[in-house]
Amino acid sequence: MRIAEIHLTPVAIPDKPLLNCKGVHQPYALRTVIEVICDDGTVGLGESYGSTKALEGLRRAAPALIGLDPFHLHELKSRVITALPEGGGINARSAVADHKLTDVVASAFEVPCLDIQGKLLGRPVADLLGGAVRSSVSFSAYLFFKFGAHVGQEQDTWGEVLTPEQMVAEARVMIKAHGFRSLKLKGGVLHPDLEIETMLKLREAFPDHPLRIDPNGGWTVETAIHVARKLESVLEYLEDPVIGTDAMAEVAAATSIPLATNMIVLEFDQIAEVFRKRAVQIVLSDHHYWGGLRASTHLGKLCETLGLGVSMHSNSHLGITLAAMVHVAAATPNLSYDCDTHYPWIGVDVIEGAPFTFSDGALTVPDGPGLGVTLDRDSLAELAALYKQADMKERDDTAYMKQFDPGYERRVPRW
């Protein structure tokens, strides 16, 4: 059995004007839906980034995978590396962190191959990763400050969230709708003292929910230490308060709050240094750039060996990615915290049937063959048409922010 065809469909997913330290989410998040079809008709699904460089890489590597046995995942990786000899990263505008193109592309095609393997064997993908050690996977509510509306559009149902009180209200809506049991705030947006106040108000309103804040490296070391001191007994972890291993190590030395990252550890060869320098206590995995689902379980094992915690990062995504995240999280024995997901902010999907529904903030691990999701072709066509119409082909939160505030500049660190 061999891979006979590969279809790549870039899609644009309507998104909300969510704020981060780089700016604001544009009206659409870009993704690529991947279909790998074998000569016996078995189809494997995957989902990856939709930015120009990622899409180009996927398009250039796809022909090299025709004829590949979908069980030969080492061969998949080496064919991807041969097809993309210049390597490089995927982010056209990355100032601080980038993801290796070859890992992104190999991962994008590994997931559909695992989906195919699962379908052939009649086993869920989690079984191919060592088996599920939990029947459901818990996620945290991903809280964002936000504008009430996109440029030229009407206010969305969430409305404006720019104060600590409005953030508590947002958290209430998230918890009521999905039952989340932990809360993550995307920080680096307001003055740090206002974000401290927000965390304290969240603590007061939700005394039993573990809390975390992630300013995406938007703080100076001094600011990060100030915030950590004020939130010492409040946070379960502090995510990427600053950029750079030495800066993270300085903050880590000044607080008892564990530091998590998805910005300074993006590849296996970065782990030794952060471990030696005690810069990070929790690594947030993400199969899209760690090299796939199997590589993510290897990361879990490595973290276990080093005594580091492990959990999962997310970016705006659809249900195919969510299914993959659930399978790999289920098969990561030492997953130490609730995973991130942007899914509740995205009201559409390309999977058939009902969208994923969280119960008490968790998703049941699918037990059918493969990933357990199938494509809804009408929805795929709709989102593909949106991609074609959209005048954006690259994520640029800073450029879009300038439409709200012409004087806005990207600063790293911001506060």
Ligand X SMILES: O=C([O-])C(=O)C[C@H](O)[C@@H](O)C(=O)[O-]
Q: Name the phi and psi angles at 236, rounded to 5.
A: -80, -35
Nearest CB to ligand X, comparing residues 119 and 395:
395
CB 333, CB 325: distance < 8 Å? no
Nearer to ligand X, 216 or 223 (CB): 216
Indicate which residue of 313, 317, 327, 342 is catalytic: 313
Does the footprint of ligand X cover residue 102 (CB under 6 A)?
no
Binder among 313, 317, 327, 414 for ligand X (CB under 6 A): 313
Question: CB-wise, 61 or 329, nearer to ligand X?
Answer: 329
Binding footprint of ligand X, residue count (CB under 6 A): 9
Applying CB under 6 A, which of residues 214, 236, 338, 349 lies at the interface with ligand X? 214
Choice between 70 and 217, CB closer to ligand X? 217
Is residue 311 part of the contact set for ligand X (CB under 6 A)? no
146 as an active site residue: the answer is: no
Between the alpha carbon of residue 185 and those of residues 119, 153, 175, 250, 400, the distances in Å are 38, 25, 14, 22, 21
> Side chain identity at 413, as an amino acid letter?
P
Indicate whether 216 belongs to the interface with ligand X (CB under 6 A): yes
Of the residues 186, 209, 288, 342, only one is catalytic, namely 186
315 binds ligand X (CB under 6 A): yes
User: What minimum distance in Å lies between the beta carbon of 124 and ligand X?
Assistant: 27
Q: If DSSP codes are grouped into helix, strand and coil, which group holds residue 142?
A: strand
Shortest Cβ 96–ligand X spacing (Å) = 10
- Residue 395: CB minimum distance to ligand X, A: 8
CB of 315 to ligand X, least distance (A): 5
CA distances from 98 to 104, 177, 243, 314 (A): 11, 34, 13, 15
262 part of the interface to ligand X, by CB under 6 A: yes
For position 321 contacting ligand X by CB under 6 A, the verdict is no
CB contact at 8 A, 13 and 35: no
Q: How many helices (H) and strands (E) does the chain have?
A: 14, 14
186 catalytically annotated: yes
Would you count residue 20 as binding ligand X (CB under 6 A)? yes
Single out the segment in contact with ligand X by CB under 6 A; choices: 3-11, 54-62, 145-153, 313-321.
Answer: 313-321
Choose between 132 and 242: whose C-beta lies nearer to ligand X: 242
98 touches ligand X by CB under 6 A: no
Question: 343-359: b or e for each residue (b if 16 or more CB lie within 10 Å)?
Answer: bbbbeebbbeeeebebe
Alpha helices (H) along 307-415 = 319-330, 377-389, 397-404
Backbone angles phi, psi at 210, to 5 degrees: -55, 140
Please, which residue, 128 or 280, has the CB nearer to ligand X? 280
User: Distance (Å, rounded) from C-alpha 337 to C-alpha 334?
Assistant: 9
Q: What is the DSSP string of 333-363?
A: TTB-SPBP--GGG----SBSSSPP--BTTEE
- With residues binned 3-state (H G I as helix, E B as strand, rest as coil), the percentages for the chain, rounded to 5, are 40, 20, 40
Cα(103)–Cα(272) distance, integer angstroms: 19
* Minimal distance, residue 114 CB to ligand X, in Å: 24
Helices (H), 231-318: 245-254, 271-276, 287-290, 293-306
- 177-206 residues near ligand X, rule: CB under 6 A: 186
User: Token pair of 84, please?
Assistant: 């993309």
Token reading at 246: 């030495």
**Interface with ligand X, residue 140, by CB under 6 A:** no
The least CB distance from residue 59 to ligand X, in Å, is 23
Nearest residue to ligand X, by Cβ distance, number only: 20
The stretch among 133-141, 308-316, 385-393, 405-413 that binds ligand X (CB under 6 A) is 308-316
| Shortest distance, position 239 Cβ to ligand X, whole Å | 6
Q: Least distance in Å: CB of 24 to ligand X?
A: 9
Q: What does the binding site for ligand X look like in residue numbers (CB under 6 A)?
A: 18, 20, 186, 214, 216, 262, 313, 315-316
Catalytic annotation, residues: 186, 313
